[in-house]
Amino acid sequence: MRILAVWDNKAEAELISTYLHVEENEVRMTTSPEGFRREIGSGRPTDIILMPIDLPDSDSAFELFSYARQVFPDAPIVGACSPSDVFRVVRFMAHGMSAYLSRDAGGDYMFLIQAVMKSTLDAVRAAREKELAQKLRVEIESVRKLQESVLPKNIVSPPGYRICARFDPAELRVVGGHPVAMAGGDYYDVFTLADKNMALLVGDATGHGMAACMSIMTMHTLVRMMRRQEYTDTAHFVTEINKGLCDQSIVNQKGRFITLLYAVLNPATRILQWSSAGHHPPLVQDLTTGSIEPLAGQNAGGLPLAIDEDSEYETYTCELPENCRLLLYTDGLEEAFPDNDESNHFGKDGIIRTLADTAQLSLDKTLARLFEDSDEFTRGSGRQDDTSVVLLEYRK
C-alpha cells in the first residue's frame, strides 16, 4: 500500500510508521496540518490516507479531509478519534470517509492500524470491482443486443425446404459459477436473391467485445449493400466483400480478420454453390444413406477476410441429395471443451454423432440438440466462443 498519514503526536507517529512499514508498504508520515497539505498537493501516488478528525480541531480537519478527497478521489480515508469524539465521525463518514478507529487511552489501537488500513483498502477495491463488473455487464448486454439486431428475424424457406438458425454468445463462468454471456463476432444470415435463389452465410470475427462486434456489423453492412448487385458466382461476391473489409481499419487492425462461408442454393435444382474465406466447409447429411460428410477438405477456400485485398477465392459446386440436411456453423460449436481441458474438443465427430442421432427428429429439435450436446460436453463450463448455426433440410 502507498500510505499517506498525518498524526498529531510525534512519538505515536513514529510507532505508527513502524507498524505500517510491513508487506512492502510505502509510508509518508507527517505531523502537522501544513505538512499534510503539502503532501496532498505533491500529487504523489496514494492508495489510502490516515488522519485524525481533530487536527487541530474538527472544522480544520474536515477542511483537510475535503482537500484530500478532492485530490485523491479514489483513495479511501481512515479517520481516528478519541472515544468521546466518535459522534464527530458522522460528518466525515457522510462525506466519504471509508472507516475510522477509536484512539483508546492505552494506545492499543496502534496495533490495529495496519489491519484496519488493509481491510479498508481491500473492501473499497472490491466494491469498485463489483461496480465495474456491473457496468461491464450492462455494456456487454448492449453490444450483444446490437449484434443480435442484425440477425434475420424470420427466415422464409423455399417450397420443400426448411431452414432454421441460431446464435449463442460465448459464455464464461465467474466467481460462484455464475455464467456471463459475452459479446463477440459471430454472424449468420439467410436471404432470398432477386433470381429466387437462397443465400446462406456464417461469419466469425476474431476476438470478443465491441471490436469483434463492430467488425461483424461492418461486414453485415457490406453484405446488405452488395446483395442488390448481380454476381455470377459466390467467389466473386466473397472477393468484393474482402476488398471492402480491407479498407476498414476497425476490422483489420492488430491482426484481426473474419472467416466467412457464403453459399447460394438453387431450390429447383438443389445445386449449391459456395465459397470459403478461411472457414470450414459445410456438412451434408444424406438422410437416405445416413452418410454425413464435409462438402470439401478442411483447407478448401482462401484466406480469411481483411488480410489481403488481392486474395483469390474459389467457387465450389455440388448437387444436394434428394433427402438431406446441410449444416453451416462457426467453430464455437466444435471447439467446445471442458474447463481446464482445452485439448479435448467436442469436435466434428461430436457434431456428426448428434446429426446421426437426430436424423428422425424435427429440424428445430435437431438444432437444439446440437447446442445442448456441445454445451453438455463442456461439463458445465459453457462454450467459450460464440456459436452460430444454419441448418437446412430438403425432403422430397
Residues 6+ apart with CB under 8 A from 336: 345, 346, 350, 374, 375, 377, 378, 383, 384, 385, 387
Q: How far is CA 62 from CA 54, 90, 380, in A?
A: 8, 11, 53
Q: What is the pLDDT of residue 175?
A: 44
Question: How many Å apart are CA 109 and CA 102, to the nearest integer?
Answer: 7
Helices 10-20, 113-149: crossing angle, 10 deg rounding: 50
Report the alpha-carbon distance of residue 44 to residue 72 in Å, rounded. Answer: 10
Please report the pLDDT score of residue 172 as a whole number.
Answer: 59
Mean pLDDT value of segment 198-223 = 85
111 burial type by CB count under 10 A (0-12 exposed, 13-18 middle, 19+ buried): exposed
CA angle 298, 184, 224 (to 5 degrees): 80
Distance CA 118, CA 365 (A): 55
pLDDT tens per residue across span 107-125: 888 888 888 989 999 999 8
- Give per-residue pLDDT as tens, 304-363: 999 999 999 999 999 999 999 999 999 989 988 887 776 788 999 999 999 999 999 999
Q: Give the pLDDT score at 393.
A: 97
* The C-alpha cell that represents 349 in the structure block: 465427430
346: helix, strand or coil: coil
**pLDDT recorded at residue 307:** 92
182 has a pLDDT exceeding 70 = no
In terms of pLDDT, which residue wins out, 134 or 392? 392
pLDDT at residue number 207:
75
In Å, how far are 115, 144, 335, 379 from 27, measured between CA atoms?
Answer: 15, 45, 50, 48
Are residues 275 and 240 in contact, defined by beta-carbon separation less than 8 angstroms? no
Q: Determine the average pLDDT of the residues in 287-314.
A: 92
Pair 385, 168: CB distance under 8 Å: no
Three-state SS at 264: strand
Domains recognised in the chain with CATH numbers: 2-113 (3.40.50.2300), 136-394 (3.60.40.10)
In this prediction the pTM is 0.68
Mean pLDDT of the chain: 88
- pLDDT beyond 60 at 28: yes
The band of 131, judged by pLDDT with boundaries at 50, 70 and 90, is confident
